[in-house]
Structure 1
Amino acid sequence: MAKPMTKTQLVAALAEEMGTDKKAASSALDAITGLITKEVSAGGAVTLPGVGKIYCRERPERMVRNPATGEQIKKDADKVVKMTIAKALKDSVNG
């Protein structure tokens, strides 16, 4: 499995793709990340065309087990961020 692309590598690739400098590409990436964070934390969803949909899902209160002691503990309800991958991306990876 290949190593994940770092933010520095992503900014450099984005700058090259956009035909601009790294500072502008970094600002664009930070703006997109901020918008996604704000929208999902408010309970909304963001669709990135060709990539997927990022959304927040609520998990109900449930019983979990402490693996060290085997003790059953009640875990409060919480929220988790999920991502559904777009069919176009799946097809390009598998095709």
Structure 2
Amino acid sequence: MNERPVSPLREQSRDAVADAEARSGPTVPAAVRRGKLWLLTVCGIYPTIVLLGLATDPVLGDLYLPVRLAVLVPAAAAAMVWQINPRLQRRFGAWLTR
């Protein structure tokens, strides 16, 4: 009852997309090699932890190691998930799938 009319142009573009998908099949991302992803993650997380440790040492230096790590690990994980890993994977994406 509340259907909006579809313009013929939009209907044609939908048909063209459906035809292209039917011919080529669904696109599946290439498999990432887990060993290479591990290496890339290690290369990203080591400098992140070192730099965060050096930057927070004046403030957190007197605390016990488990307490310092309770601050550093979530900060490093957030940096890896939202900043570092996406950039590394974009940069080395072709290498990761070879």
TM-score normalised per structure 1: 0.30
Task: Compare the two structures and name the one with the higher helix fraction.
Answer: 2
Task: Compare the two structures and name the one with the higher strand fraction.
Answer: 1
Max Rg structure: 2
The structure showing larger relative contact order (alpha-carbon pairs under 8 Å, at least 6 residues apart) is 2
